[in-house]
Amino acid sequence: MASQAAVGAPRAGLGRKLLGPQNRNLWFWVFVGPFLLGLLIFVYIPILWSIYLSFFDARNTVTPTTFVGFDNYKFMLTDPAFLSSLGTFAVFAVFIVPVTYAFGLALALAVNRTHWFQAFYRSAFFLPTACSYVVASLIWRMTIFNGVRSGLANTVLGWFGFDNVAWLSVTHPPWYWLVLVTLRLWLQVGFYMILFLAGLQRIPPILYEAAAIDGAKAGWQTFRYITFPQLRATSVAVLVLLLINAFQAFDEFYNTLSNFGSYPPYARPPLVYLYYIALGSQQDLGRGSAGAIILAVLIGLVTVLQARFLTGRRRSA
């Protein structure tokens, strides 16, 4: 009889399953629902629509009708300007990833050893993370590295008898790379310092006590044989995040290096190039979408390979 009653009982609908017994999950969906809806509307639907556009001739329209298959992908993969933009990313990543890693780790070690005002130093170094990339780019361009004598960088150089430097001139690539790297470093080093601080605070103090008993000297020896190996998991996460953020470089290039059309290829990262393909004078949303999909796949592959390489080295060590 009980089995027959169970069979004859109505099944709970999808809404009842989501709300749970006695509507226990109601407030969960009240708070989470708007964020999920925004994620769906502003992230997942645009991604799917970009994939759709990448297979069409979508010039000056977001509702194309001419199907071109993989022609947009073939064009982007053989486009010298797009390939050159990937080379620009490689140069930028070579500079910014190890520099940010080293500065973030150094700041974390210094703050972790500070016994006074540690909370103040954490907040002070983390505060630039909240600054807008656009605002910081304009400050770097218009006040610090504006290329005139009144600029902060040239004023400091003048104290030592050096001439003015045209920091943002594309005819001197090393100088504008310095501007871009210092800008990104100031904006994000505090965030990675916090990650390293969390990793440092998870290291058991007993390891340092045992090392001191064994005669290890405080400083380089303890850092090399205890601190750094214990930070390998944090280092993997930091390096992966740094590489992804380097791929997404846009604001500092776009707002610092204006007059894009007159710049040589080595001043164009992938996102800036795709922005001008899709929303610039060409208005080619099909090729722009194809380039964005290629870039997303490339980011995923590089991230997975980097994470597996670093974790593999960690296990072998």
Number of residues that make up the chain:
317
Beta-ladder partners of 67 = 56
Of 20-24, 109-113, 149-153, minimum mean pLDDT range: 20-24
- Residue of higher predicted confidence among 104 and 252: 104
Task: For 243-261, write each residue's pLDDT tens digit.
Answer: 888 888 888 888 887 654 4
pLDDT computed for residue 169 by the predictor:
75
Residue 8 located in a structural domain: no
Residue 6 located in a structural domain: no
Q: How confident is the model at residue 15 (pLDDT cuts 50, 70, 90)?
A: low
**CA–CA dist 32, 207 (Å, integer):** 42
Residue 251 lies in domain? 71-316
* Sequence-separated (6 or more) residues with CB below 8 Å from residue 317: 229, 232
Residue 19 located in a structural domain: no
* Sequence-separated (6 or more) residues with CB below 8 Å from residue 119: none
Of 7-16, 138-147, 214-223, minimum mean pLDDT range: 7-16
**CA–CA dist 58, 68 (Å, integer):** 10
Whether residue 164 is predicted with pLDDT greater than 70 in this model: the reply is: yes
- Residue of higher predicted confidence among 253 and 74: 74
Whether residue 166 is predicted with pLDDT greater than 50 in this model: the reply is: yes
Residue 90 located in a structural domain: yes
- DSSP, collapsed to helix, strand or coil, labels residue 61 as coil
**Into how many domains does the chain fold?**
1
Residue 53 located in a structural domain: no
Residue 10 located in a structural domain: no
What burial class does residue 247 get, using C-beta atoms within 10 Å of its C-beta: 0-12 exposed, 13-18 middle, 19+ buried? buried
Among 154, 136, 157, smallest CA distance to 145 is for 154
Whether residue 88 is predicted with pLDDT greater than 90 in this model: the reply is: no
Question: What DSSP line would sit under 210-269, residue for residue?
Answer: HHHHTTPPTTHHHIIIIIHHHTHHHHHHHHHHHHHHHHT--HHHHHHS--GGGS-GGG--
With vertex at residue 277, the alpha carbon angle to CA 183 and CA 77, rounded to the nearest 5 degrees, is 95
Q: What is the pTM (predicted TM-score) of this model?
A: 0.79
Residue 218 located in a structural domain: yes
pLDDT above 70 as % of the chain? 85
Instruction: Give me the CATH number covering residue 155.
Output: 1.10.3720.10
Question: Average pLDDT over the chain, rounded to whole?
Answer: 82
**CA–CA dist 315, 310 (Å, integer):** 9
Q: How many angstroms separate the first and last alpha carbons of the chain?
A: 63
Instruction: Please say whether the beta carbons of 129 and 190 come within 8 A.
Output: yes
**CA–CA dist 76, 66 (Å, integer):** 18
- Residue of higher predicted confidence among 14 and 190: 190
Question: What DSSP line would sit under 22-76, residue for residue?
Answer: GGTTHHHHHHHHHHHHHHIIIIIHHHHHHHHHTTB--BS-SS---B-TTHHHHHH
Residue 104 located in a structural domain: yes
Task: For 205-242, write each residue's pLDDT tens digit.
Answer: 888 888 888 777 777 888 888 888 889 889 988 998 99
Task: For 283-317, write each residue's pLDDT tens digit.
Answer: 888 999 999 999 889 888 888 887 777 776 555 55
User: For 31-60, what is the mean pLDDT?
Assistant: 89
